[in-house]
């Protein structure tokens, strides 16, 4: 089996979601730690303009956005992972809806709360790092179609969510929808992990005993680090592999397979990746890209939350 290479950095909440899924599934993985801020030359060579983290590289195929990474790691590709599915049929709509809400609405409340002065912890090593991060994220936010809530609204949103979550877990269930985990557990976990990484809001979990116990169970999944790999080795793996053969189709009138397209998130971090469209259906978007350092690669995106446009 081709190795799983995760491009990530330790402080990234969405990377923590994937690290926890890898641990829960018992999957071996390679760790390529990238900078918290741009540039990220190796990752960009693979993806083009897409700049969100994490990215999962599997040979010459690259998977973007944690929704798609979760689906890939769930075992559809025959990875041999263990444990229950992330997408149980009995709770699929509820679990997916909650996960999407957490990754969007709760995420922006989490950003507000994590960067409160009393909750910063050791996020930045020095003032220069803080300045570089601020400048990088200002560029990242250009063109964003989202709103970051003020502190009072973020606190109210989070307090209500914790109370409702504590109630749902109050019947003794180990996970949000019963005896087994789902994608909702990992989406909620990484957001709580991010909010509480600074240590300044510990009392919020102290007041919600069921959530705290659930958090301890989930946190254990993320304690299995991958084996380090260098950027040069990751690029070599891509260049020596052949991308998957993709059955070509498009459900967008006027944009056929073979068209040069730009693919980008529709909410924030809207920098596009350009390539040749291979497939666009209700689940995924796949483009083929070429780069001197990688050769031909397929870049995969989820359909939900991403747009496709013919390049000008």
pLDDT for 1 beyond 80: no
The pLDDT score that the predictor gives to residue 77 is 59
Determine how β-strand 227-228 pairs with β-strand 284-291.
unpaired
Domain 89-221 -> CATH class: mainly alpha
Q: What percent of the chain has pLDDT over 90?
A: 86
Tell the burial category of 257 from Cβ atoms under 10 Å away from its Cβ (0-12, 13-18, 19+): middle
Confidence tier at 79 by pLDDT (50, 70, 90): confident
C-beta separation of 254 from 280 below 8 A: no
| Interstrand relation of 61-64 and 249-250 (parallel, antiparallel or unpaired) | unpaired
Please give the pLDDT value at position 76: 60
For residue 302, what are the β-bridge partners? Answer: 284
Q: What is the pLDDT of residues 260-280, one digit of tens each?
A: 999 999 999 999 999 999 999
Give residue 140's pLDDT. Answer: 84
Q: In the chain, what are the domain boundaries?
A: 4-82+226-310, 89-221
What is the average pLDDT across 4-21? Answer: 97
Higher pLDDT, 65 or 126: 65
**Residue partners of 310: CB distance under 8 A and separation at least 6:** 254, 255, 259, 260, 261, 262
Mean pLDDT of the chain: 94
Q: What is the pLDDT of residues 117-160, one digit of tens each?
A: 999 987 877 778 888 888 888 888 888 888 899 999 999 999 99
CATH number of 4-82+226-310: 3.40.30.110
Is-same-fold flag (4-82+226-310; 89-221)? no
């Amino acid at each position: 089996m081709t190795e799983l290479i995760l491009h990530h950095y330790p402080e990234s909440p969405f990377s923590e979601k994937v690290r926890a899924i890898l641990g829960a599934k018992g999957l071996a993985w390679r760790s390529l730690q990238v900078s918290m801020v741009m540039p990220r030359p190796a990752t960009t060579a693979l993806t083009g303009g897409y700049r969100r983290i994490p990215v999962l590289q599997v040979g010459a195929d690259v998977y973007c956005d944690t929704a798609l990474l979760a689906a890939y790691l769930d075992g559809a590709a025959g990875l041999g992972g263990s444990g229950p599915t992330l997408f149980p049929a009995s709770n699929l709509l509820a679990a997916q809806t909650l996960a999407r809400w957490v990754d969007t609405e709760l995420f922006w409340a989490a950003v507000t709360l994590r960067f409160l002065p009393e909750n910063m912890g050791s996020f930045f090593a020095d003032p220069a790092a803080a300045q570089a991060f601020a400048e990088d994220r200002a560029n990242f936010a250009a063109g964003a179609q989202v709103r970051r809530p003020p502190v009072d609204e973020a606190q109210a949103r989070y307090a209500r969510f914790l109370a409702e979550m504590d109630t749902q877990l109050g019947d003794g269930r180990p996970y949000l929808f019963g005896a087994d985990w789902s994608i909702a557990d990992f989406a909620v976990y990484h957001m709580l992990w991010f909010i509480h990484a600074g240590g300044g809001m510990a009392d919020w979990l102290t007041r919600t005993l069921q959530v705290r116990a659930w958090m301890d169970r989930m946190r254990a999944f993320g304690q299995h680090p991958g084996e380090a790999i260098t950027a040069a080795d990751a690029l070599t793996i891509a260049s020596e592999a052949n991308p998957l053969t993709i059955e070509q189709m498009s459900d967008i009138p006027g944009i056929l397979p073979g068209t040069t397209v730009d693919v980008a998130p529709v909410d924030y971090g809207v920098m596009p990746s350009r390539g040749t469209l291979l497939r666009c259906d209700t689940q995924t978007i796949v483009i083929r890209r070429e780069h001197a350092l990688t050769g031909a690669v397929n870049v995969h995106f989820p359909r939900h939350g991403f747009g496709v446009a013919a390049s000008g």
